[in-house]
Structure 1
Amino acid sequence: MKKIWSSLKPYLRWAILGGTLFFLLKAFINHWREVAAIQIDAAGWINLAIALAITLLAHIWAGLVWGKILQSFQQPVKLSWVLLVYLKTNIAKYLPGNVWHFYGRIRAVIDVGGSLSAATISVLLEPILMAAAALLISLTGTQLNLVETHGNILTWGLQILSLVVVLLSVHPRFLNPILRLLNRLKGQTGGNQVFQIKHYPLVPLLGELTFLGLRGTGFLVTFAALTTVNYNQILLLFTTFSLAWVLGLIIPTPGGLG
């Protein structure tokens, strides 16, 4: 099986790259007229350049957060290596299914001697913590009446319930029994060391909040390049972007709905 995987691995990388380019080209063909109709002045181009820099910084920060998660799991990785892997595999996010970038990161960690369990948990923690961060931001906006709910208490309650479920799902008391069960299903003996999470990932959660802050700022600057944004709209747009980000993590469309 390993021999077959080794022979297919180079072709799989090219297939993923080809698939990514295909869907980007398809999106360009379908929407190039709409893009061409947009009129952007000199100030708008400056805003777009700033937004691009902020977005790139956000992805670099997210890569460092993932690296810190791996290092907290005692994995033999350096932050510089993790950052390159994160940015390269991020391209695969634009393929349908929204899972290929996770697969690439898990394979990369295993190839340098990392644990399958630790690699898998690290790539699962990242989007879960991102969702928690986005829900925190959207809930804050809702509580400050930045998003008009028209008295819909059910919507507010569902957001709180979702946040509680997400925050509890990454607690060691919930994850460690699942890890032990998975190891038993794989047929590992009790003498083998089972990967366990030792503490709640609070620092990575704060890191993902920072990522969402940078990502949302990039969105706002991009929005400002296309239309006028009033001061009282900023927090509303930021909250709406956070909600869209959560949907983008859940719905398996290329690039995410966000």
Structure 2
Amino acid sequence: MQAVRSRFKASLRWLILGLVLFFLIKTLKDHWQEVVAIRIDAAGYACLAIALGMTLLAHIFAGWVWSWILQTLNHSVPGAWSIKVYLQTNIAKYLPGNIWHFYGRISAATKRGIPTEIAIVSVLLEPLLMAIAALLLALIGVQQILSAYGWLAQLIPIVGLGLGLAIVHPRFLNPLIGYLAKLKQKAVGASQPMTLPMKRYPIKPLLGEIGFLGLRSLGFILTFLAIAPLPASQFAIVIAAFGLAWLTGFVIPGLPGGIGVFEAVMVALLSSGSAPLEQDFSTGELLSVVALYRFVNTLAELAGAGLVTLDDRR
């Protein structure tokens, strides 16, 4: 059964990847002339430079929020240390398997003396809080976007948000931590009572993850402004679409960094007739925006890892 499940997961991963690539390649093929006709002026390049800085700041902030998560689990660490480890390991998410950034953080935390079970829960709690934050951003304007797909589609984000808020409650997480601790004690042949570490709901880390995705969405808007004018009154809808697209790319299994999924969902949500925008944007413009934003985000992650490496050498 284990072998069957592994083959099924691998097949599902390749099927999703194939469908996403087919959609993007076909869309790009149909609108290639629109894409190559787009030009970026000096103001546009300035917007891209600010978007790069904003996105790098978002990743630095996410590293700081990880220290808040560990603090919630009664293990305080310096913010500078968590930022450094986060930026060093974040680029590893693009490796096959999409788990190596988590492994790097767990390894770094255990070397610092943090119990393995706490380190594991911290890296599990982080994506859960990010997913909840993305749903909260999506609820800003997602009801307007999903209204074209029926009432059931509008209900899904609300139900998902409720489940996410329940999962990160101490009543759920403390038994999980206790179970992991028992497994560790059994492996090493020890038996000692463990004080359940999570005393309160992780409000501060959740607000931090909302801030992280808020900065990321501002980076996306700045990238959008480099390609086409976007009225300020439409920022809320674009942020909501960003949250939904980011979450979709985040939860799809096996696709490193959500590559392809985020872009496909964003184009689908903001295409003419899908989103209640005051003005219609061509598919070529949207393709250029999502492609540029992927480049900006990847460059920001590389810059973060590079800055930490330079600091180590210094």
TM-score (norm 1): 0.79
Q: Flag structure 2 segments of 5+ consecutive residues without an equivalent.
A: 1-27, 263-314
The answer to whether the 8 Å contact 1:62/1:207 transfers is yes
Q: Give how far 1:212 is off.
A: 1.1
> Is 1:182 aligned with 2:180?
yes
Q: Which residues of 2 match residues 1-258 of structure 1 at below 5 A?
A: 37=36, 39-75=39-75, 77-143=77-143, 145=144, 147-150=145-148, 152-186=150-184, 187=186, 189-251=190-252, 252-256=254-258, 257-258=261-262
- After superposition, the C-alpha distances for 1:184-216 in whole angstroms (9 at most, x for unaligned) are 334165524355311110111111111111110
User: Alignment partner of 1:255: what SS?
Assistant: helix
Q: Give how far 1:60 is off.
A: 1.0
- After superposition, the C-alpha distances for 1:39-82 in whole angstroms (9 at most, x for unaligned) are 32111110000000100111111111101211332336321111
User: Alignment partner of 2:256: what SS?
Assistant: coil
The answer to whether the 8 Å contact 1:76/1:113 transfers is no
- C-alpha separation between the residues in 2 aligned to 1:88 and 1:204? 21
Q: Give how far 1:98 is off.
A: 2.1
The answer to whether the 8 Å contact 2:72/2:198 transfers is no
- C-alpha separation between the residues in 2 aligned to 1:228 and 1:140? 21
- C-alpha separation between the residues in 2 aligned to 1:183 and 1:194? 10
Amino acid at match of 1:246: L
The answer to whether the 8 Å contact 2:250/2:257 transfers is no
- C-alpha separation between the residues in 2 aligned to 1:67 and 1:184? 25
- C-alpha separation between the residues in 2 aligned to 1:219 and 1:122? 27
Q: Give how far 1:217 is off.
A: 0.3
- C-alpha separation between the residues in 1 aligned to 2:191 and 2:111? 25
Amino acid at match of 1:184: K
Paired-residue identity, %: 48
Paired residues in the alignment total: 223
Q: Where does structure 1 differ by over 4 angstroms across 4 or more consecutive aligned residues?
A: none
Q: Give how far 1:142 is off.
A: 3.0
- C-alpha separation between the residues in 2 aligned to 1:234 and 1:111? 43
Q: Give how far 1:176 is off.
A: 1.3
- After superposition, the C-alpha distances for 1:199-253 in whole angstroms (9 at most, x for unaligned) are 1101111111111111100011011112222334322211111001111211231
Flag the 1:58–1:88 CA change in 2: closer, same or farther, 3 A. same
Amino acid at match of 1:236: I
Q: Give how far 1:137 is off.
A: 1.5
Amino acid at match of 1:230: P
Task: Compute the RMSD of aligned alpha carbons.
Answer: 2.1
User: Alignment partner of 1:75: what SS?
Assistant: coil
